[in-house]
Structure formats: C-alpha cells, structure tokens
C-alpha cells in the first residue's frame, strides 16, 4: 500500500518572482505535483520542472476548477504518495481559500504544512511608498474583501460603521469592480471625502501602476487611468507619505 504523501499550502508572494521565501522554493524543488493559481508567478514553476503541473486558477468570472474539486484533487494526489505543492498568490491564509483547503485536508487525514507568503497588501504598499502603519497617522490595519461572490454578498456583511468611524488604514482586496460602493459607504459612515486613497494594479511587477487620489474622486480616477485587476485599494492618512517615500529607481520591489 502506498504511503500517504503531504500537501504544502505555499504562498507564492505578491507577484514578483523574487519575492518568494526560501522555504517555498525548497518545497517547489521537492514537489511531485504542483497545483498553481492565477496570481502565482509562472516563472516559479521552473523550480518544479520535473513535477506534474496543474493550473487551477480563478479570475473574475472564470474558474478553471470549482473549489471542491481542487480540494478533492489535493487529497487524491497526496493519497497516491506524492509531495504536493498548492501554490497560491500572496499568502495562503489571506483571501486565498487556504483555510478551506486546510480544513478539507484535516477532515481527510492528509498531512499538510502551511508555508507563509508575502501578502499583497504589505508588498503593494511598500513598493509604492506607503507604510501601512505610522505612529503619527495610523496605529492599525484592516484587510477587507471587496469582492461579491455568487453565494454571499461580502460587501453587505462588512461593518461599514466601524470602518468609516475609525482612523486605521484599510486595504481592500479584489475591490476594483466595487470601488464606487466601497468609497461611498466609507464616506456615508464617517470617513472624510478627502481621505487619501491609493489604488495599485499588478503590484511588485513590471506592469505595476497606481493612482493616488481621494475617496471622493477614486472611482473616476481609476476609470480615467483604466487600471485593471489585480488591484488593491488602500485608504487612510498614510497614503500621503507616498509623495515622499515613492521608490526612486522604479515602482516595484522585484523583477
């Protein structure tokens, strides 16, 4: 009988191929099977050239494979004795469904390990010149989904009163299509219309672009700039520091 293998839920980092951890690279080099996401840099697959490589990516309205099938495939490949890497953009436990996959593996009795990755919020902010916290401007950060799924309206479940009434930095993932709602809700619940906003597209890559604006004008500014997903929306006073801290050589941290 074949011994059960192991699954590594690996964070690929925010986009640039050189912003992945050494631990993650070692897992890729040892992999028999790699299931990789839409936002995982495909250059990283060169480190697992001998492995079976299966694309299971999701983008807006386009899901290569339903989540339950991905869960089952992880289980199947591990039960066959393989070392399986589930390569996910950013960090596996930040809006990457890593928690769902881990729970499935626990229920199935499959050994697994989580390999953290640099999440997009931290990387996009740093590579744009925005410190997410600053002693004089923000003492906290909230990471929030800006996505509306078919099964659950996440935007309606957000506590807008809490977000609007505070002064911590807010980072919305997957919010480009709902930026008008996000900004109007924050203003309606207490954030000033002139609160600084950064909208960052394709962070840390050669394609990175950003718009620095305010809550009141963000939706129109993004339309004029024709930004495209993946994007992050950063809201808060710390965004004003971008004018001083913008990278001097380029707009990205990696290659």
Q: Could you list the active site residues?
A: 37, 58
- Enclosing H/E stretch for 232: strand 231-235
What gap in Å lies between CA 122 and CA 45, rounded to an integer? 24
- In order of 33, 90, 226, the CA distances from 231 in angstroms are 29, 13, 12
- In order of 47, 98, 165, 175, 177, the CA distances from 184 in angstroms are 45, 31, 14, 13, 13
Handedness of CA 64, 33, 23, 114 (dihedral sign): positive
What gap in Å lies between CA 235 and CA 255, rounded to an integer? 26
């Amino acid at each position: 009988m074949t011994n059960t293998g192991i699954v590594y839920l690996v964070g690929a980092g925010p986009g640039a191929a050189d912003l992945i951890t050494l631990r993650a690279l070692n897992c890729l080099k040892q992999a028999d099977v790699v299931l990789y996401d839409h936002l995982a840099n495909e250059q990283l697959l060169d480190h697992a050239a001998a492995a079976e490589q299966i694309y299971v990516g999701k983008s807006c309205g386009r899901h290569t494979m339903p989540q339950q099938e991905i869960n089952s495939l992880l289980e199947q490949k591990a039960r066959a004795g393989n070392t399986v890497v589930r390569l996910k953009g950013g960090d596996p436990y930040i809006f990457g469904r890593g928690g769902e996959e881990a729970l499935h593996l626990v229920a199935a009795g499959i050994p697994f390990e989580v390999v953290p990755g640099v999440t997009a919020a931290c990387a996009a902010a740093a590579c744009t010149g925005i410190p997410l916290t600053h002693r004089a401007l923000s003492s906290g950060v909230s990471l929030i989904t800006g996505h509306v799924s078919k099964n659950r309206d996440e935007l309606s479940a957000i506590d807008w009163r809490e977000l609007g009434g505070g002064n911590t930095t807010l980072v919305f993932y997957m919010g480009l299509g709902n930026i008008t709602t996000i900004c109007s809700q924050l203003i309606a619940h207490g954030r000033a219309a002139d609160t600084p906003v950064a909208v960052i597209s394709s962070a840390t890559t050669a394609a990175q672009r950003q718009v620095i604006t305010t809550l009141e004008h963000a939706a129109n500014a993004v339309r004029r700039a024709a930004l495209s997903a993946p994007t992050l929306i950063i809201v808060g006073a710390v965004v004003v520091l971008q004018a001083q801290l913008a990278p001097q050589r380029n707009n990205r941290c990696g290659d």
